[in-house]
Structure 1
């Protein structure tokens, strides 16, 4: 499955005439399948660039390179705290252009973890923020679904749900796992973004009589 997602991201060549754009916005992140802890949403942000293949037809494609700060707040019997994770995400998405102003987005993405930190507090006080990179799988992969609106030429407003299929943590059975970890935890992120696509915008083809 992991090889399949990497192949999907790398196998579609970008045309030289692709339009470049920028985007950024808010993340609302948490982890699923974290049975050992009680996790809740954590606010973060994302920013990056994309290349969109211009198309007058219903289906088009986009490649994205995004920095994404995500993680989760957690609580268990003795400890509360938060985990911050910084990823570089590469996504290959298909855009289904329902109208000139509205699109559905669907695709695959692979992420590389570049930073991970955790801090916590107990009944005796707060603990220092720690780097926890050794606990994490560097590669994450999954799929994304979302919607976009294009109210004026160039402007993009979107909402997307990113679902990871890979586990956040390495095998923790052979190590002393910290209180904020959960063996089967997976990333889930809602992204609200605003962007701008540069260059001449494609127009819909008119049907001939």
Structure 2
């Protein structure tokens, strides 16, 4: 009896493991970014590009992680926030109908370039951004036939961007990306 239970469990686990769909591909798109809680800033348009990988556990549920080069920040009359990150969003995907999904999860951002310049006439100051950014991600996507993907996401910062004491401001990024899955 014990051997039968082990055999059935092994068969069940093996079938479940092989029924998972593995996904890997590339993606690129546009970012429409700003810094929240900072007055006078306007949107900054940038781009993102990178790779993604994921697993679809069933017809309804999957998980996806991206590795993205991402231009973010904001612009204002007397300076610019030019921020470049390597972002790693990890989203749970729930498929509403075939192809159409909603997404949510955390994003871990690592600064690779920060150019924060304040030009106040005779005085120009250069500030630095925090090395790490934690954000939340919500969005929707559609998986088209032949591996084509379209994602629309909103990333809302949970940590302040600037290292300046008393300066509050978090990343706020709407992104639209097109991807291609190799598998």
Normalised TM-score (structure 1):
0.71
Deviation for aligned residue 1:68: 0.4
Structure 1 residue runs without a partner (length 5+): 1-14, 174-182, 200-209
2:137 to 141, 144, 148: 144
Q: What is the CA–CA distance in structure 1 between the aligned matches of 2:72 and 2:164, rounded to whole Å?
A: 21
Deviation for aligned residue 1:171: 4.5
2:176 to 192, 197, 201: 192
Partner SS, residue 92 of structure 2: strand
Deviation for aligned residue 1:149: 1.4
Q: What is the CA–CA distance in structure 1 between the aligned matches of 2:130 and 2:144, rounded to whole Å?
A: 39
Q: Which aligned segments of 4 or more residues in structure 1 are displaced greater than 3 angstroms?
A: 15-18, 118-124
Deviation for aligned residue 1:92: 1.1
Does residue 1:106 correspond to 2:129, yes or no?
A: no
Alignment of 1:18-97 (within 5 A): 18-34=22-38, 37-75=39-77, 80-97=78-95
Deviation for aligned residue 1:137: 1.1
More strand per residue: 2
Normalised TM-score (structure 2):
0.81
Contact 1:116 1:131 in 2 (8 A): no
Matched pairs, number:
165
Which residue of 1 is the match for residue 150 of structure 2?
A: 157
Partner SS, residue 153 of structure 1: helix
